[in-house]
Structure 1
């Protein structure tokens, strides 16, 4: 038996990434009512700052539960996304968001140094996310200012 790989276009990979981001805004539920975890290959990897790398759907579910448990809401600003396509299985999406963390609200650009800007690097093959490394400031409410001298005394 040979392995088969379904060829995907950049736009098709983008559609999978968009489905993932929209599911995040919808408490982990996809547009067809499924779980966000179904968008991932069974052995996929996800990285989130201050959490680490989760491998496989069970660990990814734990990561999303841990991080999602700190969020009351999140809204991605889809109209402002920047997409970078590699011509291979990789897609990069840079964007902004706003929402409410258990420690308080956030909005990209308010203040300019605070959370809300992010970049996700996806590897998408066979209509599934194989890898998603998330790069952002996990201090959504902007409370970690004492460790950064340039923020000392700066109002949020």
Structure 2
């Protein structure tokens, strides 16, 4: 599996460069991250469901912000896979839950993600589906059905 530098490279496709820029802006808390999206884009986030557009994404961000004090992506641990109009990003997050519990993808049960980005001909993100376990801090341990002693 090939790892990529998060800084856009000369050989990056337009779509891959946009995805890398998305993660940089997201982790920096830059509001202009939304400039990377089409106005009517679709998104999915577990426990939120499917949303459409920037206003509904703001609703998701507000809800997530109420349960998570901080979150960032490990840019050095990302893998990217791409096709003609999509990029899949797989990686790890770290952060702190609102109750003070910290997580680190790869070391705790929470913190692994996979995002699927689809692009329009204009180079803007048309669809972003995010797949992860939103129980970042592992509070739902009673429903871990197996693997309690697994490495994460």
Question: Under TM normalisation by the shorter chain, which class is it?
Answer: 0.7 to 0.9
SS for the counterpart of 2:41 is: strand
Q: Deviations over 1:38-94 (max 9, x none)?
A: 2211110110001001111111121122223322222211122111111x2111011
Aligned length: 139
Q: C-alpha separation between the residues in 2 aligned to 1:10 and 1:90?
A: 13
Taking a change above 3 Å as real, the CA distance of residues 82 and 72 of structure 1, as seen in their structure-2 partners, is: same
Aligned counterpart for 1:45 among listed residues 39, 42, 47: 42
Which residue is equivalent to 1:16? 18
Pairwise CA distance, 1:101:
1.7
Computing the radius of gyration over CA atoms, which structure comes out larger, 1 or 2? Answer: 1
Q: Which 4+ runs in 1 deviate beyond 4 A? A: 151-154
Are 1:44 and 1:55, in contact at CA under 8 Å, matched by a contact in 2?
yes
Which residue is equivalent to 1:36? 33
Q: TM-score, normalised by structure 2?
A: 0.81
Q: C-alpha separation between the residues in 2 aligned to 1:91 and 1:77?
A: 17
